[in-house]
Amino acid sequence: MTLLNPNMAATFPPPVMEARRWLDGVSFSDNQPLINVSQAAPVDPPPASMREAMAQFILEDDASHLYGPVLGLPDLRAKVASVWTEAYGGAVASENVAITSGCNQAFAATIATLAGEGDEVILPTPWYFNHKMWLDMGGITSVALKTGEGLIPSADEAAKLITSKTRAIALVSPNNPGGVEYPAETLTAFRDLCRAHKIALIVDETYRDFDGRTGAPHRLFQDASWDDTLIQLYSFSKAYRLTGHRVGAMIASPKRLFEAEKFLDTVAICPNQLGQRAALWGMENLGPWLAEQRLEILDRSQAITDGFPALADKGWAIEGCGAYFAWMRHPFGMPSDQLAQKMVQDLGVLCLPGTMFVPEGDDSGKQALRIAFANIDRAGIGQLYKRLTQLSPA
């Protein structure tokens, strides 16, 4: 008999890996190569200047090969605190910053300090599937908060879902999978709600570097008591193409990080030393380069909007677009999980169906597709739309 934790057995397979299996046995012609819009991760390596700096770290910095502080390099923590203080207009100290092995680990560490089996965390839907998966693994109930028009969640609706078991509300902005940027007023309302109920507000800002707005996207850090409620998560992977080096951050109260250190020490002991040095080097040297990358991503987002009328004429609708993602509603009777697999066969397009981002029984997922467009340029987006207009399920 195979022994298996029932919580693990109840957790669905990783969606990106599941979708990749749809490619098995499928060949693509030179005239119609695969367009992969399934995963929100840079496919290019870091810029050459960063790789040269990393090579020097490997050769000359012996500490880059050794264990380091569990909560991360002091210089990187201090740099994040300084940049965040300036960017958000509030006070963030290095003691508020922990460096983690990617942003998913930051979420896992956060939840480890907040909730145990039988507790509840509220997630707006469509939700980020890895958040749902981690909660499932811990026996923590994900309470679905349906979003309204424009995929913006409502604090008033969330208030109706809070129980004695609720430990946190987790938001992602700019949103994965919807792409939408939550208004500052929305985040403030959620902060006030969470503070009133003495629960945590988790704000995952993995895609903050590609927010289309100028200035601070919210005022949460301007509150002198921000760390009694707010826990912010961040990823260096998207900003500096460090996906393989796994570097993220958790910004919270020192007391919260003291507890998170127990989890982090047990799981990884310390974040990737080379990745941390690269992240710090990037923050110190790649400001203009990152600004150019942001403009390119914003241009691709605009290309999604500019080209959409061709699909709108065929009954499609776009419900959210920004950062790396577009959330589209298709006009067909076929459920999106079947439609997405058919798109691989018929169009050479790999994307994720909306069913992977909503609870079972939520029919909204059957009509939706998530398009992760950050790895295709304007010409590629044009080719994507050309293929989608040809889609006609039997």
User: Which CATH number do you get for residue 246?
Assistant: 3.40.640.10
Assess contact for 359 and 348: CB atoms under 8 A. no
pLDDT at 148: 82
Cα atoms found within 13 Å of the Cα of residue 282, Cβ hemisphere only: 26
Residue 298 lies in a domain: yes
Q: Tokens at residue 377, please?
A: 């340029």
Residue 394 lies in a domain: no
pLDDT at 313: 92
pLDDT at 149: 82
Whether 258 and 382 map to the same domain: the answer is no
Residue 221 lies in a domain: yes
The DSSP bridge pattern shows strands 230-235 and 248-251 to be: antiparallel
**Domain end marker among 223, 256, 285:** 285
Whether 31 and 118 map to the same domain: the answer is no
pLDDT at 71: 98
Helix axis angle for 287-307 and 273-285, nearest 10°, is 90
Whether 77 and 210 map to the same domain: the answer is yes
Q: To 10 degrees, the CA torsion angle through 332, 336, 337, 342?
A: 50
pLDDT at 37: 95
Whether 242 and 272 map to the same domain: the answer is yes
Whether 19 and 111 map to the same domain: the answer is no
Assess contact for 110 and 310: CB atoms under 8 A. no
Whether 189 and 302 map to the same domain: the answer is no
Whether 235 and 341 map to the same domain: the answer is no
**Domain end marker among 247, 267, 285:** 285
Residue 162 lies in a domain: yes
Whether 52 and 38 map to the same domain: the answer is no
Whether 75 and 161 map to the same domain: the answer is yes
Q: What is the CATH number of the domain that holds 308?
A: 3.90.1150.10
**Domain end marker among 255, 285, 315:** 285
Q: What is the pLDDT along the chain (394 residues), one digit of tens a residue?
A: 589 999 999 999 999 899 999 999 889 988 899 999 998 778 889 999 999 999 999 999 999 999 999 999 999 999 999 999 999 999 999 999 999 999 999 999 999 999 999 999 999 999 999 999 999 999 999 999 999 889 999 999 999 999 999 999 999 999 999 999 999 999 999 999 999 999 999 999 999 999 999 999 999 999 999 999 999 999 999 999 999 999 999 999 999 999 999 999 999 999 999 999 999 999 999 999 999 999 999 999 999 999 999 999 999 999 999 999 999 999 999 999 999 999 999 999 999 999 999 999 999 999 999 999 988 999 999 999 999 999 987 6
pLDDT at 2: 81
Residue 111 lies in a domain: yes
Whether 58 and 170 map to the same domain: the answer is yes
Residue numbers of the domain that contains 316: 6-45+289-388
- Count of domains forming the chain: 2
Question: How far is 129 from 168, CA to CA, in rounded Å?
Answer: 17
Whether 277 and 187 map to the same domain: the answer is yes
**Residue 245 DSSP symbol:** G
pLDDT at 68: 96
Residue 393 lies in a domain: no
Whether 253 and 124 map to the same domain: the answer is yes
pLDDT at 362: 93
